[in-house]
Amino acid sequence: MLPSSGETSFQQMLATLRPVLELNRLVAGVLDDMGLGPVVASDASAETPPAGDFHVLHFLLLPNKEAWCDFLLETDRDSALKIYQTLSGETNAGDADLHDVLRETMNMIHGSLKIAFKRDAGEVIVPVVPQSITTEKLHEAAPGYSLQSRHVFAAPGLVLRLTMIAHLAPVARRPLDQLHLSQVLVEPLASDGNSELVLVKRHTMLNQRMLDKVHNLAECEPAGRTLPVIEPSPMASVVFDL
């Protein structure tokens, strides 16, 4: 299936962003600063199979560019253990420890990317913390047509793979009673009669507890009230069981 003209323009726009062009350098710099270097970065084939059983997903939204970016960090147990040993000084670790250290690694990478994207694309939204994802969930993900790049980072005793999947995600206004899980609020949700009473903060990804607040408010508010939101990516939909 060929991309539409809108998708083609979206790809062309993202391909000009400096953080996209410099992703290898930015991520390698973070890993070097973590004491994992020297790090050698290279582009990977889109067909490269998943790298082991440890996968962490993080999201970065660029509302000014109408983009939702998924970042997927993958590695095997030996590499995760090497990172854990380097950062903690301890030799033994369980799987929970390794998932924790990979999420922390993703958090540090993501922080560098957030700063870089903010310089180039303006406002950046980070709606949730890094999420561990099972291999089974990863296989369920069907991102559809998207700009995708894969990068391999090799250092003594470890190999990491980072995949970027970007989706066209324009801001759209939706009625309160039609909001659903994992949509991201662009504006805070406050009571119509009291703007200072914020029920859900801006840039929040809706979970079930927050969604219940939204729907309860919809029953009391004037009909037709809407809120600007960003729809979740297909990968986010799989992770959060939509």
Three-state SS letters, the chain: CCCCHHHHHHHHHHHCCHHHHCHHHHHHHHHHHCCCCCCEEEEECCCCCCCCCEEEEEEEEEHHHCEEEEEEEEECHHHHHHHHHHHHCCCCCCHHHHHHHHHHHHHHHHHHHHHHHHHHHCCCECCCCCEECCHHHHHHCCCCCCEEEEEEEEECCEEEEEEEEEEECCCEEEEHHHCCCCCEECCCEEECCEEEEEEECCCCECCHHHHHHHHHHHHHCCCCCEEEEECCCHHHHHHCCC
- Total number of domains constituting the chain: 2
Write out the residue range of the structural domain in which residue 114 sits.
5-170
pLDDT in tens, the chain (242 residues): 445 556 678 778 877 888 888 999 999 999 999 999 899 999 886 555 556 789 999 999 999 999 999 999 999 999 999 999 999 999 999 999 999 999 999 999 999 999 999 999 889 999 999 998 887 777 666 545 465 788 999 999 999 999 998 888 999 999 988 998 899 999 998 877 667 788 889 999 998 888 988 888 888 877 778 899 999 988 888 777 64
Q: Which two tokens stand for residue 22?
A: 């410099």
CA–CA separation, 17 vs 120, rounded Å? 6
Tokens of 3: 């991309």
The reply to whether 154 and 177 lie within a common domain is: no
Q: Is this model's pTM higher than 0.85 or not? A: yes
Q: What per-residue confidence (pLDDT) applies to 50?
A: 53
What pLDDT is stored for residue 231 in this prediction?
93
Q: What is the spatial distance between Cα 182 and Cα 239, in angstroms, rounded to a whole number?
A: 10
Give residue 149's pLDDT.
85
Domain-terminating residue out of 149, 170, 191: 170
What is the reported pLDDT for 75? 94
Task: For residues 93 and 152, state if they share a domain.
Answer: yes
Task: Please indicate, yes or no, whether residues 158 and 195 belong to a single structural domain of this protein.
Answer: no
Examine the domain organization and report whether 208 and 92 are in the same domain.
no
198 and 90: one domain?
no
